[in-house]
């Protein structure tokens, strides 16, 4: 297994800052979610024109790769124009992912909207993924659906991918999301996805007053060690990505603490 982290942990940082802490902490790659407060990366000067080539070189020179380019694309809206706008955003992000050498973009399902039902929402999501995957295929970029929201369970995720009818799709398995939102058991994703499992998000949780809250890796009650051990047993050899949701929970420990901490914890428990 290789390790990366999501820049959700450091949403205001520049790409240079993300690259520096990744290389300094012994990571193999980076997962782009926010940079300089922006999640549509194609808008950033550092990822445009000649600056894009400079950024690509900086990543490569530090021995890193871009493991995944995360989008905010979601296809749950009853409004077809809104869904179409997310497809357009996904295409722009896929073009950038191709330039960065990233294998895929991440998308969401996501949540059943007021007045909609589960079956219709699942259909819209599958259609959105199908259309986006058709457009990204010529670029060599896949579309990976994260286990998230009202469709976080492994069963729902696989159902959507099957309904999309596309081969160039896969799963970003967030073990904690699938447990707290989808009510999977923590290890279910290691068995449910087969070769569709393309990327894994890892984070630790502690239950406080019936609510699950993020804590530093190895300090919670979520069986992270067991998840890693099962992935090793199944010879999973892709990226596991540390997801520290600092963007959504500003009170969490600073990235200078959490990012190196995960790398040390992972090396200790995996022997890598």
β strands within 157-270, DSSP E: 169-174, 197-202, 204-208, 211-215, 239-242
pTM: 0.97
At residue 117, the 3 state secondary structure works out as coil
Give the integer Cα–Cα distance in Å for 217 and 212.
14
Domains in the chain (CATH in brackets) are 2-270 (3.20.20.150)
At residue 36, the 3 state secondary structure works out as coil
CB 94 within 8 A of CB 136: yes
Place of tokens 């890693």: 228
Residue pLDDT tens, the chain, 272 long = 999 999 999 999 999 999 999 999 999 999 999 999 999 999 999 999 999 999 999 999 999 999 999 999 999 999 999 999 999 999 999 999 999 999 999 999 999 999 999 999 999 999 999 999 999 999 999 999 999 999 999 999 999 999 999 999 999 999 998 888 867 888 888 889 999 999 999 999 999 888 899 999 999 999 999 999 999 999 999 999 999 999 999 999 999 999 999 999 999 998 76
């Amino acid at each position: 297994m290789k390790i990366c982290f999501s820049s959700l942990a450091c949403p205001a940082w520049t790409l240079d800052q993300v690259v520096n802490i990744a290389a300094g902490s012994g990571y193999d790659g980076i997962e782009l979610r926010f940079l300089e407060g922006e999640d549509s990366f194609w808008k950033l000067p550092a990822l445009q024109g000649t600056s894009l080539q400079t950024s690509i070189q900086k990543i490569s020179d530090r021995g890193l790769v871009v493991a995944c380019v995360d989008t905010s694309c979601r296809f749950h809206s009853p409004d077809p124009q809104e869904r179409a706008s997310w497809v357009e955003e996904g295409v722009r992000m896929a073009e950038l992912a191709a330039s960065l050498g990233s294998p895929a973009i991440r998308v969401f399902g996501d949540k059943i909207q007021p007045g909609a039902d589960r079956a219709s929402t699942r259909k819209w999501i599958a259609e959105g993924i199908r259309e986006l995957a058709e457009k990204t295929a010529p670029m060599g970029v896949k579309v990976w659906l994260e286990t998230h929201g009202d469709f976080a369970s492994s069963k729902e995720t696989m159902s959507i991918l099957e309904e999309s009818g596309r081969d160039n799709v896969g799963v970003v398995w967030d073990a904690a999301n699938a447990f707290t939102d989808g009510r999977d058991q923590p290890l279910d994703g290691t068995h449910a996805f087969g070769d569709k499992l393309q990327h894994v998000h890892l984070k630790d949780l502690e239950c406080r007053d019936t609510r699950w809250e993020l804590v530093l890796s190895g300090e919670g009650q979520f069986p992270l060690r067991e998840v890693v051990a099962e992935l090793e047993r199944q010879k999973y050899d892709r990226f596991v990505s540390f997801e520290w949701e600092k963007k959504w929970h500003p009170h969490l420990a600073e990235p200078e603490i959490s990012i190196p901490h995960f790398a040390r914890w992972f090396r200790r428990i995996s022997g890598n």
